[in-house]
Amino acid sequence: MRLPRGTPWPGPLVADPMNSKLFTIGFTKKTAEEFFHLLQEAKVQKLIDIRENREGQLAGFAKYPDLAFFLDRLLGIKYEYQPIFAPSPEIRKAYQQTRDWEQYERAFLELMEQRNAWGQAEPGSFKGRVALLCSEAEPDKCHRRLVAEMLAKRWKAQGHQVEVQHLVVLKPAPRRKRKSKVHA
């Protein structure tokens, strides 16, 4: 590609740009019906499990290997496990004790750098409609949001098209109480 003199470089180019819609989902505070419905509505093609412990007793329907079976049989979704994106037990324990989210974020992102997680993430594994799974019900204080945001930022800088969306169950607004009429 030849640019006229003085034209700024358009940015990084990749030979085969990836187009990805990266979803995040947690399984707690959801029924199996709600969980699988969210994945189905989003037309997810692959779920990447980024939990430290995918076989925990509290995981219910999201316990491995049951989850991989359900995803395949119910929705035709591929299952993959990438624990490189899971927080360490020490980071989780520190957060449970302090509830200091900013410290958790710093420690988690530092851990990802130490593991070279961003460099090991192969864009081809995330092509299409992919969901990152962990346990937290909401994405705001969850490592899956951090992973999705960092991957999207890195890959956009490389010229890939990446969009992030968090799959959550929308709870109905609380109903206001009606004032009762007093009859005379």
pLDDT of 5? 66
Question: What are the φ and ψ backbone dihedral angles of 98, each rounded to 5 degrees?
Answer: -105, -30
Unique residue bearing structure tokens 């499990």: 49
What pLDDT score does 171 carry?
78
Q: Which residues of the chain have pLDDT under 70?
A: 1-15, 173, 177-184
Question: Would you give the DSSP letter of residue 74?
Answer: I
Cα R_g (the chain), whole angstroms: 20
Q: What is the pLDDT of residue 71?
A: 98
pTM, rounded to two decimals = 0.85
Residue the block writes with tokens 């505070």 = 29
**Token pair in block for residue 73:** 């049989």
Q: How much is the pLDDT for 143? A: 97
What is the residue whose two structure tokens read 């990446």? 162
Tokens encoding 121: 């993430």
Q: What confidence score (pLDDT) does residue 9 get?
A: 46
Dihedral sign for Cα 87, 23, 166, 159, please: positive
The string over 91-125, giving b where at least 16 C-beta atoms fall within 10 Å of a residue's C-beta and e elsewhere, is bbebbeeeeeeeebbebbbebbeeeebbeebebee
What pLDDT sits at residue 45? 98
CB 21, CB 165: distance < 8 Å: yes
Q: Is 66 helix (H, G, I), strand (E, B) or coil?
A: helix
Is residue 89 packed enough to be buried (19+ CB in 10 Å), middle (13-18) or exposed (0-12)? exposed
